[in-house]
Structure 1
Amino acid sequence: MDKFFSDAMEIRDLAKKHNKMFEESIPLIASENVMSPLAMEMLLTDFGHRYAEGLPHQRYYQGNFFVDQLEDKVIELGKKLYNAPQFDPRPVSGTNANMGVIFGLTKPMERICAPDLSGGGHISAAKFGALGFRGLDIVNYPYDEETMTIDVDGARKTILETRPNLCLFGQSVFLFPAPLKELRDTFQEVGCKVWYDGAHVAGLIAGKKFQDPLREGADVITGSTHKTLPGPQHGMVIGNTDEKTWKKVQKGVFPGVLSNHHLNTMAALGITLAEMLDYGEAYAQKIIDNARTLAEELYALGMDVLAEKRGFTSSHTLVADVRKFGGGKEVAEKLERCNIILNKNLIPVDKNRNSQDPSGIRIGTQEITRIGFEKNDVKALAEIMMKILKNNISEEKAKEEVMNLKSEFKQVKFCYGTTNPYEYIELFK
C-alpha cells in the first residue's frame, strides 16, 4: 500500500522548488505571465474534471447546464474586449488555435504566405511545423532587418506574384505592428483570407495600445492567452468574417483539432477577459513603457539592442544581438545562474544558424510589469544585467542583487484582489 507515495512526494517537492526559484528570480520570458488570484481559483474547480464537446447548448455530453452558461459568458466578454462579432474560447493553446484555423481555411497543397523563422515567425508556421504537416506551400515574406518588420513593398510583390489562399501575420518576435493596413488593397486584389496570430500581443491589442487587426484587414485572430493577456495556458480564436468562413473555422477547432476544451482554464480565461476590460489599458501601456525603458538602458550600457532607429519596440518584447558576450545560449545560461530568466533567440543574421545556439536573446516585460515594476526598477535591472555580462560582478553577488530587487515584487497587479503568484498552495495535508 502507498508503494509509490515517495515518488508522488518527490514530484510535489519539485513543484515547491520551482515556485521558490521563480519567487527569487526576475522573469523576462516574453511568452509567460502570472494569473490573478481569481483566475487561479478557477483552475481548482470541478470544471477541470468534466467534458463538454461541441458548442454551448449543442453538447454531446450531459451535465453541461452551468458549463453552457460559463461558455456563453466567456464568449460575451471576448467579443466585448476585442470589439468582435465572433469569439471561440475552446482551443487549449495558441498552436491548437492555429491548427484549427489551418484545418478550417486551407486544403493540402494550397499556398500560404507567412513570416520566416529568422524574421521572428512562430515555429508552428515553419515548414516543419503545423503548416508543413498540413502539406501547404509556404512562401515567406521578405523581411527588413533594419526595421525588424515585414518589408511592405516586398510583401506586396510576393502576394501578387504567388497569389496565396491565406496570408498569415504574427510573430514570436513581435516588436512592431504588422502591415495590415498597408497591404489591405493587395489582400482584396488577390482575394485571400487574412489570419493574424496575436498570441504575443493579445493583451496589448485588448488594451488598445498596439494595433486593431480586425479593423485593419484580418479575418481571424488566433492566440494563446498567457502572454501579454495574463490568463491561463489556453487559446482563442477571434473573428470578423462572414458566417460561412466562421463555421469553417469552428469546425476546424472541433472536431478538427480538439475534443474537450479544458473547462477550468476556459473559466480562468473568462476572469482574465473581465479584468482586462477593467484594467487592460493601463496594464498594456505600462508593459510598453517598461519594454522601451529596458531597451534604452541596455543599449546605453553597451548591449546591441535591435531596431534602435525605431525606438527598439512598440510591444512587450525587445531583442538583442549578444554575440560580443558569447552568443544567445551562453548569455541566457549565465543570466539564469544569476536568477534572471530569459531565452536565447534567433535574430535576422541567423538564417543558417543552429536554433540551439543563436546570436540573440529575447526579453519580455509583461510579467515584471504585472508584479509592479516601474521604470526605475527596470533601470536597476538593466544595470545588474550588464554588470553580469561585462564580468564586473561575481555571479554569487549578482544573484544576491537580483534576489534583493525581486523581494519587493510579489503581488499581482491590474486585477481583482491580490496574491503572491509564486507562493505554493498546499491542499494535501
Structure 2
Amino acid sequence: MSSEPSSVFRRLRSRAAVTAAKLATTASRLTGRGAGGMIGGLIANAIDPSIMEQLGARRPTALVTGTNGKSTTTRMLAAAVRSRHVVATNEGGDNMDAGIISALMAGKSASHVVLEVDELHVPRVAERLDPQLLILLNLTRDQLDRVGEINKIERALRDCVNAHPGMLVVANCDDVLMTSVAYDHDNVLWVSAGAGWVGDSVTCPRTESHIVRDGDDWYAMKKLRDGREFRRPEPTWVVTDDGLRSPAGSTQLELNLPGRANRGNAAQAIAAAVAGFDVPFDAAVSAAENVDNVAGRYSTVHFEGRDVHLLLAKNPAGWQEALSMIDREADGLVIAVNGQVADGEDLSWLWDVRFEDFESLPVKAAGERGTDLTVRLTYASVEHQHLPDPVAAIRACPTGRVEVLANYTAFRDLKKALEKENSND
C-alpha cells in the first residue's frame, strides 16, 4: 500500500517538472533571453532531482568527455548512430546537468542517447544514466579557477571507469592522462587519435615519474606499484597520414572540418559507433565526414564584403590547434578574448600559447580582455592593433577573407552580433 502512493507521487512530480521546464524553455526562446538549452533543465531538476534517471529510462547511452573536442566528437557520433536509430543529443554544447536534462527531455522519444559531458560532471552523470559507452578524448589544463588541476580530474574519471566494469571505453592511447584513466579497465578499445599538446603530461599521473617519448611510443620511467609497466597501449584503431586504419576497415578520411585534431575526433567517434552501436563502418565514416558545422564553429559568415571564418578555442591545447588552422594567406586576423566565468577568469594560459608566427598577417586584438592579449602579442613581437569591439575589429580588416579566433563567450557574443548586423542590412 505504501509504495503505490509513493509511485504516484513520483510520476506526478516528474510530469510537473517536465511541464514547468517546457514552459520555461518556450518563454526563454520567445523573449530572446536564450535558446532554452539550460533553463528547462535547471527547473526540471529543481522540481524533481531524479528527473535525469527517469528521462534516461535505461536507453543505450554514450558519453563523450575530454578537455577539447567534445562537441565535435559528439556531433559525429550522434550522426553515425542516427543512421540506424533515433538519437537524443545535446548538440548545442550544454554539457552539464541542466543541459543534459534538457537534451533528454527534447529527445524523450529517442531510442538512443549520445551526450557530451563536462569532465567534472562525468562521474555523477554516469551514476545516473549507467552508460554503455564512454569516449575519453584528452586531458589538458582548462580553466584552472573552475576545474583545478588535471590530475584530480584524472583520478575522478579513473574511479568512474572502475565503477562501471561493463562499460565499453573508447580511449585515446596517445594521451597519457586518458590512458591512465582506462588502464585497468577490462573493456577498452584503444584508438591512436593523436596528442598535439603534451605539455601537461610530462610525468606519470600514477607514479609521478618522467614520461619518456620515443616517436609514437611513450612510457613511464617508474613501474606501477604492482610491477606493471605504464606504457602506451597498442591501438587497434589508428589515424594515419592517409586516413584511418582499423579492424573494421581502412579508409581515407575526407572531413569537412579542418585540422589533425578533428581527424582524431572522427576516429574515436567512428570506432564508438561501430564497436558500441553496430553501425556499419562505411556508414559511420560517411556520417563523420558530412559534419561541417558544430554550433557555428568552423563556419564562414559573410559580412560587409568579408568572408569571416570563425574558430573557437578555450585553453592552451585548443588555441595551439586552432592557430594551426588559420589561413596565413587571409586578409586579416582578429583574436578575441573574454574572461567571464564560462571562459575562466584566469588568463595566464595566454603565455603558454605560441603567437610568434604571424609576421605577415595583420592582427587585431579584441574582446573584454583584449589588453591582456595585447601584452602577450607585444612580447611575441606580433604587430597588432587593439580594438576592444570584435565587430569593429573585423571592420578594420581589409575586405576579403578574415580569420577570427575567439574563446567561448567572445565567440558566442560575436556570432550573435554578426547575425544581428546582417539581419539589419
> Normalization by structure 2: what TM-score?
0.29
More helix by share: 1
**More contact order relative to length (CA 8 Å, sep ≥ 6):** 1
